[in-house]
Structures are given as C-alpha cells and as structure tokens.
C-alpha cells in the first residue's frame, strides 16, 4: 500500500527534476523540485499512519469528523516534511558552497 501511495509523488518529483534540468533558467531549482514532492508524499503517509494509530488507540469511532481530521493531519504533516526537505537541501548546498570556497 505505501508504495502505491508514494509512487505518484516520486514520479512527479522525477518529472519536475528533469523539466528543471532541461530549462536553463530553472536549473538551479532542480534538486528542490525532486525532493519537495517526495518529502510531501512520505510526510503525508507518516501523518496518516500517526492519525489512524491515535484514533485506534483512543477508541474514537470513525465518522465524518475523524475522516476530516485524518485528512488534515496527513496534508499538514506532508506540507511540513516538504518544507523540511527543502531546508535540508538548502543546508547541504550552503555547506557545499562554503567548503568549495575554502578548498
């Protein structure tokens, strides 16, 4: 199941990465275009698992409100992890640039 959910985000990341590589004006954003969709997909899947586990452990009955909360938790955690993945790429780029200057 997780592979089926993550596969479209990986495909989207690869397509966006290749598109950014082809267009010279967008080449600097290629790595961001790869990691952001994948980070969102993994974060959303993790948020879904956490929300479902919390509802299962607390004995909360499934209804419309729980479905909305699970969806919001998934989207929220996916968005947070997409931002985290972009921040990590920025940190690696700055460390790499600084080490290149000192070589």
Six-digit token string for 92: 């690696």
pLDDT, tens only, 31-72: 999 999 999 999 999 999 998 888 888 887 778 888 888 889
Residues contacting residue 39 through CB under 8 Å, at least 6 positions apart: 78, 81, 82, 83, 84, 85, 86
Query: How many domains would you assign to the chain?
Result: 1
How far does CA 65 lie from the centroid of its chain?
Answer: 25
- As a whole number, the mean pLDDT across the chain is 88
pTM greater than the 0.85 cutoff: no
What percent of the chain shows pLDDT beyond 90?
A: 59
Q: Is the pLDDT of residue 95 over 70?
A: yes
Q: Is the pLDDT of residue 2 over 90?
A: no
Q: Which helix (H) or strand (E) holds 96?
A: helix 64-101
| Residue 73 near residue 48, CB atoms below 8 Å | yes
């Amino acid at each position: 199941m997780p592979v089926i959910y993550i596969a479209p985000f990986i495909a989207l990341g690869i397509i966006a990465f290749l598109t950014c590589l082809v267009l010279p004006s967008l080449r600097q954003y290629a790595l961001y275009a790869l990691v952001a969709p994948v980070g969102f997909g993994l974060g959303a899947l993790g948020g879904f698992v956490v929300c479902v586990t919390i509802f299962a452990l607390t004995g909360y009955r499934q209804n419309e409100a729980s479905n909305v909360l699970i969806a919001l938790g998934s989207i929220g955690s996916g968005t947070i992890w997409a931002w985290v993945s972009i921040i990590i790429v920025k940190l690696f780029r700055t460390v790499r640039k600084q080490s290149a200057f000192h070589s």
